[in-house]
Amino acid sequence: MNIRIEPRKTAVNVIEYLFAAILILNCNTIWTSYEETSLNRFLKIAAVVITVLYILICLNTRVQLSTYKFIFLFAVVSAGYFLIYTAVVRYGVTNYLIFLVDALCIYIVVKLAESDGRLTGILYKFENLVVILAVISLVFWLFGSILGVIHSSGIVYSAWTGEDSITEVPSYFNLYFETQTTEYGLIRNTGIFTEAPMYNFVLCIALLIELFARRSISKIRCGILLIAILTTVSITGWCITIVALFAYYFSRRSLTRTGEFLKAIVIPVALVAVFVLLYILIAYRLDTGSGIIRLDDFKAGFKAWTTHIWFGCGHENYDYVKLFMSDFRSFNLGFSNSPTQILAQGGIFLTVPYLLFTFRWIKTSITEKNLPRILFFICFICLFTITVTSYTFLAIFLFMAYSAIGESRQVQDEVPAISYRRRRVIKGKFRIKFRYLGAKYYEGIHNVNGKEC
């Protein structure tokens, strides 16, 4: 068998995998919280380098002029934001500049990939990496943390405790870390992340991509992600998973009439069951210390915002927000939600771009009648609201790359609903029809690329 390697394609794939890896690593991995390393700074520079490489790879690719116009406008607006911020707020100016530069880099990659029809590919690559991480973490969690067959290979020091102190974290060959334990003594599966909510965020996004962005779902990938979410013992993750699975199964058209009929009967019952389950989980959550602290975070963030409505108290100015937190939680001063973090630290000034991307996401989903994209959005916004991910590359990327979600699923929905048995009988006919639809789909991409007018 002859395998033909195309250098450009391979290079683009490698760069996209690197980009996807950066998206994951930037989500508070334990490697970025080592006392002595500065991986965070490295990641921010790496994002710029990867963008430059991506531009160089796409140097000869014909892209719509409007794409460059958008990139140019984004760059100009970012520069304007930086100048205004420097003139008005003056807190953490360097961090703000890095944040804007990274956001611009992500926007460039998203726009170039979108023009080249490769944006969905980046999402898939991200998901593939998360699945690999999930497998590794599950192995170590089961055989290391639970059964004790594998022993920890050492200890690392993490600065991510919310109290500015250093803690010792057992490490398993630097591939898995035991960072958190539940109140019942069960070790939570946190993979390579500093805490379960962040790992859960990454896993949930991967699951949402599998359910709503892929053309067809893989039961193995789905199973791995579901088990990993379960082992993080994160109520947020469980709730989002329940909602996502429910939305997925009932949003898909059934292949048979019986299936449609059964679905019509089951939906109300399942809806009630899901609501009851969510109510129990959320009620349980709100009764615990973690839940109360999360509610207090909303209050603290909101109060901090009211003191500086327009420009906020400063980018990553956590000390100021801490001043508004209640006394009972002095042992845990970590922030836990994104919306009030953006409001408190960036004010309306920084909230506006997030809102613009959100509205654009909603608008395009509704105008294109793209149900998977809407469902992805609902689940993502829920996650974003109860996890502190405002400035992570992954959240910024998803806000910008919404157009890739549900793109392939829409084409699939055009396939006529017929039973599996009947499909086998009229195999030839179906193939022709399917090929026709596939051709239409690829024709669409071809035109977008600009190779054909």
Partner 1 sequence: MDKTNFEYVTPRSILVYILKHYKSLIAGLIIGAVLLVALCFFIGEISGNSVEEENTTADEDLEEAKENLNIAEENLENLQYQLQMQEDILEEYENELKKYEENWEEDIYIQTSASDRSAIDTVYQINGDETSAGQLTNLIFATSTNMYQEIAEQLNDGKTAYNIQCLFSVEADLDLYQIVVSVSDESSAGVREMQELSRRWIEDQCTEYMQNHPNTELNLEVSEGDVYTYFDTDIFSTQRTAEEKKISLNNSINTERNSITTTKNNILTKEKEVEEYEEKVESLEKSEKNSVSLGRASIGIRNIILFAFLGAIIGVVVVAVIYIFCFLFSKRLRDPEDMESRTGQNLLGSLWQPPYRPGKDRWKRKLDRWNGVQYDLNSEEQMNQLLFAIRLKIQRNGYTRVVLTGSCDASDIECVYQEVTKSLPTDVSQKLAWGDNPTWNLETEKKLLDADAVILVEKIGESEIKNIRELRMYLKNNEIQVIGGIAT
Residues at the contact surface with partner 1, assessed by CB under 8 A? 55, 58-66, 68-69, 72, 75, 91, 307, 313, 319-320, 323-324, 327, 447, 450, 453
Nearer to partner 1, 25 or 344 (CB): 344
Smallest distance from partner 1 to CB 78, Å: 12
Nearer to partner 1, 322 or 423 (CB): 322
Contact 208, 394 (CB under 8 A): no
Both tokens of 16, joined, read 């996209």
Among residues 402, 311, 406, 450, the alpha carbon closest in space to that of 107 is found at 402
Nearer to partner 1, 72 or 310 (CB): 72
Nearer to partner 1, 30 or 58 (CB): 58
C-alpha dist (Å) from residue 79 to 74, 99, 168, 302: 9, 12, 41, 28
C-alpha count within 13 angstroms, C-beta hemisphere, residue 254: 12
Smallest distance from partner 1 to CB 85, Å: 15
Contact 137, 192 (CB under 8 A): yes
Smallest distance from partner 1 to CB 422, Å: 40
Q: How far apart are CA 85 and CA 91, in angstroms?
A: 9
Smallest distance from partner 1 to CB 299, Å: 14
- Cβ-Cβ contacts under 8 Å for 254 (sequence gap 6 or more): 260, 262, 263, 417
Smallest distance from partner 1 to CB 88, Å: 13
- 3-state class (DSSP) for residue 296: helix
Nearer to partner 1, 61 or 408 (CB): 61
Smallest distance from partner 1 to CB 72, Å: 6
Q: How far apart are CA 58 and CA 117, in angstroms?
A: 12
Q: How far apart are CA 169 and CA 166, in angstroms?
A: 10
Smallest distance from partner 1 to CB 141, Å: 40
Nearer to partner 1, 55 or 136 (CB): 55
Q: How far apart are CA 209 and CA 160, in angstroms?
A: 28
Q: How far apart are CA 228 and CA 219, in angstroms?
A: 14
Smallest distance from partner 1 to CB 253, Å: 31
Nearer to partner 1, 55 or 150 (CB): 55
Nearer to partner 1, 61 or 256 (CB): 61
Nearer to partner 1, 61 or 167 (CB): 61
Smallest distance from partner 1 to CB 214, Å: 29
Among residues 407, 345, 414, 342, the alpha carbon closest in space to that of 381 is found at 342
Contact 274, 242 (CB under 8 A): yes
Nearer to partner 1, 331 or 420 (CB): 331
Both tokens of 99, joined, read 């944040």
Q: Determine the residue type at 310.
A: W
- Cβ-Cβ contacts under 8 Å for 107 (sequence gap 6 or more): 71, 74, 400
- 3-state class (DSSP) for residue 172: strand
Nearer to partner 1, 108 or 244 (CB): 108
Smallest distance from partner 1 to CB 75, Å: 8
Nearer to partner 1, 75 or 245 (CB): 75
Pairing, β 176-177 against β 154-158: unpaired
Sheet of 176-177, strands arranged across = 154-158, 167-172, 176-177
∠ Cα 281 284 287 (to 5°) = 150
- 3-state class (DSSP) for residue 181: strand
Smallest distance from partner 1 to CB 344, Å: 13
Smallest distance from partner 1 to CB 414, Å: 23
Q: How far apart are CA 304 and CA 298, in angstroms?
A: 10
Q: How far apart are CA 425 and CA 421, in angstroms?
A: 7
